[in-house]
Amino acid sequence: MVQATPLLLVLFLALGAHSLAVKKCSLTGQWRNDLGSNMTILEVKENGDFTGKYLTAVSASPLKIKESPILGSQRTTNEKKDPTFGFTVHWNFTDSITVFTGQCFVDEHGKEVLKTMWLLRSHAEQPIDDWKATLVGYNTFWRLQEFMD
């Protein structure tokens, strides 16, 4: 039993190193972005479809902010190690809609980060107002647990 201990230790370390080396991005979980907005992504299905909820920290609308649903799709992780994805946030408190597209990366510290770009479409009363109805921007998201580390 005494001789088996170093062997088990080596096996344990080797398995640990392997699991770090193959660490892949997973969208499932809780995320916070550089604006302080929070989102929760529920299980990503085998075909890449996912749902979730988004609580924005900021709004272009004066109305009270409410948690809003996410509908998205992720390229399946067996295609490439850092998957691309897109999702829509259907705002529950205003008549605008946002689409995000981005990619999940594992940074040099082994932490997952979502780099995204978005379009926020507000409702235009008439076609002549169309030119000012869409905002564009970037957001970076970090996993909430790691944000608090």
Q: Which residues contact 126 (CB under 8 A, 6 or more apart)?
A: none
Is residue 35 near ligand BTN by the rule CB under 6 A?
A: yes
Q: Stretches 14-22, 45-53, 76-84, 118-126: which one binds ligand BTN (CB under 6 A)?
A: 118-126
- Using CA atoms, how far residue 37 sits from 34, 42, 54, 107, 142, in Å, is 7, 17, 8, 21, 11
Q: Work out how close the CB of 37 gets to ligand BTN at its nearest, in angstroms, rounded to a whole number.
A: 3
- If the CB atoms of residues 51 and 59 are measured against ligand BTN, the closer one turns out to be 59
Query: With binding defined as CB under 6 A, does residue 56 bind ligand BTN?
Result: yes
Q: Which C-beta is closer to ligand BTN: that of 33 or that of 74?
A: 33
Nearer to ligand BTN, 74 or 96 (CB): 96
**Contact call for residue 116 and ligand BTN (CB under 6 A):** no
Residue 60 lies near ligand BTN (rule: CB under 6 A): yes
Other C-beta atoms within 10 Å of 7: how many?
A: 9
Nearest Cα to Cα of residue 29 among 45, 47, 46, 43: 43
Tokens coding 91: 């705002």
Q: Is 96 in the site for ligand BTN (CB under 6 A)?
A: yes
DSSP 84-140: EEEEEEE-SSSS-EEEEEEEEEE-TTS-EEEEEEEEEEPPPSSGGGGGGSEEEEEEE
> Contact residues for ligand BTN (CB under 6 A)?
33, 35, 37, 56, 58-61, 91, 94, 96, 98, 118, 120, 122, 137, 139
